[in-house]
Amino acid sequence: MIFYRHDLSNNQLLDLYKKILKPRLIEEKMLILIRQGKVSKWFSGIGQEAISVGITAALDETEYVLPMHRNLGVFTTRNIPLHRLFSQWQGKANGFTKGRDRSFHFGTQEYNIIGMISHLGPQLGIADGIALADKLQKNKKVTAVFTGEGATSEGDFHEALNIAAVWKLPVIFVIENNGYGLSTPTNEQYSCENLADKGVGYGIESYIIDGNNILEVYNKILQLKAHMQEDPHPVLLEFKTFRMRGHEEASGTKYVPEDMMKEWATKDPVDNYRMFLLDQGILTEEYDTILRGEIKQEIDENLAIANAEPEIVPTYSGELDDVYAPYEYEEVNSKSETRNIRFIDAIRNSLEQSLQRHYRLILMGQDIAEYGGAFKITEGFVDFFGKDRIRNTPICESAVVSAGMGLSINGYKAVVEMQFADFVSTGFNPIVNLLAKSHYRWGEKADVVIRMPCGGGTQAGPFHSQTNEAWFTKTPGLKVVYPAFPYDAKGLLNTSINDPNPVLFFEHKQLYRSVYQDVPIDYYTIPLGKAALLKEGKSVTIIAFGATVHWALETLANNPEIEADLIDLRTLQPLDTEAIFASVKKTGKVIIYQEDTLFGGIASDISALIMEECFEYLDAPVKRVASLDSPIPFTKALEDQFLPKNRFEEVLLELLRY
């Protein structure tokens, strides 16, 4: 192995040695601890330290790094106190996740490190969002994001590279090619000779680097960073390396040929760099012994601190209070004159005023810029706010959602438009596994609103007509909003954008241009989690949201003798159970009306809550009315049969006769 020092001083070379030696000695200690049962799991990076250390050392401490399992050197190079790392690995409260996640599944804004989730791919899209925020601020920062050769098979890898290329984002995409994805060798992962070759297809500058040579890593990153600061653009780097331990310690390495293990042992990044320094007279055996002793003492002292820390004592409040980021609702009332506008105009009005109110708010979605979006809601926005803030995206929902998370991490707000709510399935993973869990896992907000044009009645067929709110009401950490009127749509969307938590904002397409209401011209807010009582009566409680509210109003208009409480939920998560229970206790009968299919819909949970909390007040079984348990069809006759509109009145009258 040949080392070129370039213009690095002896002190700089020694500093790099200290940085690469430290994670190696920690790893050796961890292997002892895991055999003693003092750590539950460990993903070893022995053999790969030069990549983590070389890259992190070349970046400023204010630049974000997004590491993976085997990147201990990132954390130690950023000088995180070791006792906090030990606490994290032991599930102690002084770690970074309060015992809620393990190993390197955490981030820390204090050290500008954003940890991974086990689904791997979304990490790359987050880097896009972080880099976009930096580029918008023109601060000449770069972002480095790590992945393994196995994860390059995931769609998120390709989506993130494409976005970075199209938007010319200063992202260093780091592939640690260590030969195996758990036990699957590279020849079963991809057929191209080198992963760096994939950069050509995206118009991205790419290089192959010896991942075991810390000087080659460090100097190349310094060189690339200097170019990227003057001309923002992404770079794809493939680091050829090898892990000398198993995927995690329990896996072992029996699947690796013995001659391969021996070959890579001769390329050890720590030992070879040490020999170089000794040969050059920069390091002496005596100083190396002293240095190792100091690091081992630091490890032992910090391990003692973590060991002395008490085990976590769980409490219900402690867990539940951290699911959402703290948010103090800001009530803004408008005394301005009103204008009679459509539902779609209210959405547009909210976005426009929120963009004026939050100068770091970015809108992203397919065709939302010059074209104005599929429903023309953002038409003309580019002329006023510019393309930096009104951003057309490639067709890649997963990476766009992840980029929204990256914007949030780096101090921005994001509103992502799903062209149709149906398409959210291709962005499902980052919503339910990244956005929803981030605050609970390591205290990081996810300031992202996802707009969801949804619903049937327009003969748009199975892929453009779903109302899929139940996919998300089940996921702790998400908020789900579903207004039925223009006034509510504007006020609730304003609040959703203000809220630092992830919000799924459902907008029924059939209401866009059919429902009008007097709406204040100026900005105002409506709190999430508060239902609206639209009609009052003593005979029955009708619970509805979205289009079913209007269908229920039609039914009541055709049956004026029915004395009903009509509750428009407006928000499904958080749910206004107080309003629901108060009405049910008054009327004794309840019917829940949803457009979603029956089984597994939110009506089922509301019914269960009523049975648990209001059973003694009920005079009849709780009724649910919903669409057929089939995909939504295209032809009008079939769609009319599918939707619950024609069945509601019959079930309501039957309930009243009970």
Could you list the active site residues? 464
* Residue 632 structure tokens: 């939504």
Residue 603 in contact with residue 626, Cβ under 8 Å? yes
75/327 Cα distance (integer angstroms):
30
Query: For the CA atoms of 611, 571, 624, 427, what is the dihedral angle to 10 degrees?
Result: -110
Q: What is the signed CA dihedral for 645, 650, 652, 657, rounded to 10 degrees?
A: 180
Could you give phi then psi for residue 391, rounded to 5 degrees? -110, 115
The span from the CA of 197 to the CA of 170, in Å, is: 19
Phi, psi of 172 (to 5 degrees): -95, 110
**What tokens appear for 109 in the block?**
């804004």
Q: How many residues does the chain have?
A: 658
Distances (CA, A) of 369 to 74, 362, 365, 379, 558: 38, 12, 8, 7, 43
Confirm if 17 and 278 have CB atoms less than 8 A apart.
no
Cα separation, 439 vs 324, in Å, equals: 6
Q: Where are the alpha helices (DSSP H) in 443-518?
A: 470-473, 486-498
CB crowding 509-530: b at 16 or more within 10 Å, else e: bbbbeebebebbeebbbbbbbe
Beta bridge partners of residue 363, listed in sequence order: 390, 415
Peptide bond into 310 cis (omega under 30): no
Diameter of the chain measured on Cα atoms: 98
